[in-house]
Structure formats: C-alpha cells, structure tokens
Structure 1
Amino acid sequence: MNARSRAQALYHRTAARTCHDVLAGYSTSFGLGTRVLPPAQRRHIEAVYALVRIADEVVDTRGGDDAAAALDELEAQVARALHAGWSTNLVVHAFARTARQVGIEPAEIDPFFASMRADLTVTVHDEESYRRYIYGSAEVVGLMCLAVFLNADRRPGDPIRRADPATVEGAQALGAAFQKVNFLRDLAADTDELGRRYFPGVGEQGPDDQQYAAILAEIEADVARARQALPALPARPRAAVAVTLGFYDRLLTQLAALPPEQVRARRVRVSTPRKLLVLGRTLADEVRGGTR
C-alpha cells in the first residue's frame, strides 16, 4: 500500500469513527442493537444512522430561517458524494461509501429529505401527509438498513441483492413502528417546543382515549408485520433487529399502561438495566431458535 492509499484508508476510518460517535452520543438502544452485528454491517448501519441524525438535527435543533438552506446543502453534499465517492463532510463521506456498497439509491434518499423538509413547513398533518412523512422519515430508513444486511459483504461488480416483497414490507413496518413510538414519546416536545402535531386529528392537548387506542393498535400492527419478516434476515441482522425491536416492545408496553394525558406529560424511557435484560433474553431466544 502506497502513501496515498494509506491516507485514503485513514480518511475512511476517521469518517467511520465519526459516525460511530454520532450513534453512541444519541442512542443507547440502537447502539446496543448494532453490537450484535458483524463489524462491516455495524459500520454501515452507523453511517446510515449518522446521516439521518444530522438531517434531523438541522430541522429540530438548528431550525431557524437558514435551516432550509442547510438541509438543501446537506442533500447536495450527499448527491455529490454518491457520484464522486468522496466528501469533505465526514458523515456524508461514510454514508456515500455505504450507499455505493449496498445499493442505497435516490429512491430511498429523496423521500427522506422530502420528509425532513416537511418538518420546516408542515405543523399539522392530515392522513395523506402523515403517511407520506412516515414513509420518507422512517420506512425508507428501514429499507436502507435492509440493504446493508443483504449487501455489506458484496464484492465490486457483484449484483445488488434484493429482498422479497414480504421482507421489504417488514423493513418498512419496522421503521414505521419505531417512528410512531417516538412520536408518542415526544408528544410534549413536538407540540410545545417544535409546534408540530404528527398524528392526524390529534389536538394540542394530545390524543383522547379513543385516538390513543387507535394509535397503539396501529403500532402493534406494524410490529407484527416486522416480526413476520424477521426469519428471512441473515442470522446476525435478525438478532440485532430482534434486540432493537425488543426495546421498542418494552416502550410500547409502558406506553400502553399509561393514560394518554400522562404520555403527554412525560417522556417514557427504558432504563439501561432493563435494556440489558432485554438484550440478554432476546439473544438467548435467538440461540435457542437457531438450535431447533
């Protein structure tokens, strides 16, 4: 390896470490789930997460009059990096390398940025805009992760592996379930601080009992579809997804035990000891399932 190749490798590793740090800083749940993955898959999932997180921070944390321009620039950086295979933005650089490796395309990337852009202008969603937002902000992220699981070890020149329709539907349902649980957890912050109401028909005071029951049923249906697709995944990704799904199952159980006014008042969390318990039980179940 010559000096230039060594420098490029160092840059790639530095970009990957940056994405690892983003995930570690923002999410213990996904961080624990990714530990089950082989190193290459884990690195690619961290790159996907980091890009999604940065875009979310532009519209939620930065905000302001220049947020749209910042989001446009981030999207343009991604487009350039997908073409060139390089970016001065370390997170974008890592994401572009992942996308080129596993086959993430504008069909997934464009709807994501469209949903992020909607957060700058749309404050109250109707049924159509809600479905469109869920697809772009969450379902396509599930599809990106699925592409990683199937293609992280793909060699240059090999065709992209594509999942069957049922597995694709399961990946989309998984992303949708996670997003909707987060909407419930963040009801107060979304409404009071960001001025957004995602669930159609739900007012500023949060869902009534009937609306709350319908939202929980919708999430449970998403989770069921996601679980049906798990057996089609390779063993390590299946275990990683099962672990993360176990965390969100716990959140959903806690949310279902509360009246909607309490959900509106405080953010529900799963403690670290509980997460570790879920992690251990889920992995034990996966081992037992693999030996049957």
Structure 2
Amino acid sequence: MTDHHHSAAGASHGSDEPAMAALLDLDAEVLHTFLSDVTSTLADLTRDEPPRRIVDLGSGTGAGTLALLRRFEDAEATAVDRSPELLDHLLAKARDRGVAGRVRTVQADLDDAWPDLGAVHLVWASVSLHHLADPDRGLRKIFELLRPGGLLAVIEMAGFPRFLPDDIGRGRPGLEARCHAARAEAHAEHLPHLGADWGPRLSRAGFAVEVERPFTIDLRPPLPEPAARYAHASLQRLRSHVAEKLSSDDLATLDHLIDSDGPDSVLRRDDLTVHAERTLWAARRP
C-alpha cells in the first residue's frame, strides 16, 4: 500500500528491497482494518456487477491484490510493479494464502511503455500514482484499460504515518514533526504530485468520481505487536531521507529511538501511537 512504498514507476530500490518488502508487509498488517473498509466500499459500488478482472498498479508486496481477492472471490488479479523482487514476494504470499492461481504478475515501468493488460473491471492504484512523472497520462491509460462501467480506486496519503509522542526531542519537543517537515521539503522536488487533489485530475481524464472519502487511522496503546516493528521500520526509512537536514541533537535522538538494542528503542516503548491519513477516490469510466 504503499508510501513511500510503491514502485510502479518510482526509483528502483536496489539493495533496499528486503527492507522495503518488510515495511510494506507491516503496513498491511497494522492497517488491515483500513484495507477492509476500502474494499468494502468498492464492493458496495460494484454490487450489481462484481469485478472479475482486477489490475493492481504499483502492487508492492500485494496488500491491495490480496485484499481484493479476499473481497471478490470470483476475481483474478494482475499485479504490476517495477520491482521483480517485490513481485516475487507477492507471489510467495499468494501461494501461502492459496490464491496463486488467481494472480498474474507483470514487471513494468509505467513511465515507459504500458504493458498489454487486456480489458479490466477494476483498477487499484494505492499510493502509486504520485510516483508517475506524468500522472495525467497515467489516468488516460487507465481510462483506456477499463471497460465501460469499470471502476478505478485511487488511494493516496495526506502524510506519512506518525508514531511518537509530541514531547520527544532533546530540550526541543516535536522531533517527529521536524523530521516530516524535512521529508516534505525533499519530496516537494522529487515527488511533486504527493498530496495532490486527485478529484479534478480524474474528471479531466473522463472519469465520473463517485466517492471521495478520507480515512483517519488512529491507533492508541496498547498496540498490536507488529505496530512497534512498523514504527521502527518507518522511522529507519525516514532517517535515510532526512539525516542531512536534522540538527545533531535531533539526529542523535532519532538514532536512539531506532537502535534495536537500546533502552529507548521504539521496539520497547509503550507510548507509541499509529496515526495515518489516506483518501479514497473511486471513479467510474462512463
């Protein structure tokens, strides 16, 4: 589901693939209720004609693919991603869940030539469209891909997940807020479409927007066990983006928090929360 996560057309993750796969899996595990709510909304919108052919664009390790196959038991899904490693990971998960026969994977960079995916009933694009160099071109391609009456589900983030109490910071509360501000500054240049309002773009591409629904995920202690590992993996990745922009005190505090063996590690804290905001746009091809 990607962030920070998906690679339908983003930079290649290279040697970071195992860490990325672990983070994506934790995201899906911790935010599973959100996924269930979204697919339930799509089931309501397709009640008269449930989708049989689904495409997941920027599938990552398959959170969306597998959630959709659980919801639509007669459907088959094609997972598209730039990363062969993540697609292999997705197939392994599909085998573990007994649905490998309903999944096809396609490696493709969607900033380049689009693969022939056939005509489909439902396209899922979770936290992936903002990675495209030209999202409007991508939406036109999706419009052509969908059968008349077909549905596109776009899920994007208002911001990255947050975990820490506001009072963390050496003599200067608000460490996590400063980290996210630094990350937003970096992303403004490299990911200019992150946080965009997709409604007008969908309309311009010819879609009829039927649902625009924000979701707020706000998990409080006591958290499920995977939440601490999710926070740890997310903050490690955050550090890789903002280390050069932080003060020495902030960087030292962050390093204490992500030190797996340290007494202050997020893996041992009992005051973590999980706060995330995502929005679903469900749009139909007339």
TM-score for both structures, normalised by structure 1: 0.31
Greater strand fraction, Structure 1 or Structure 2? 2
Greater helix fraction, Structure 1 or Structure 2? 1
TM-score for both structures, normalised by structure 2: 0.31
Higher relative contact order (Cα pairs below 8 Å, separated by 6+ residues):
2
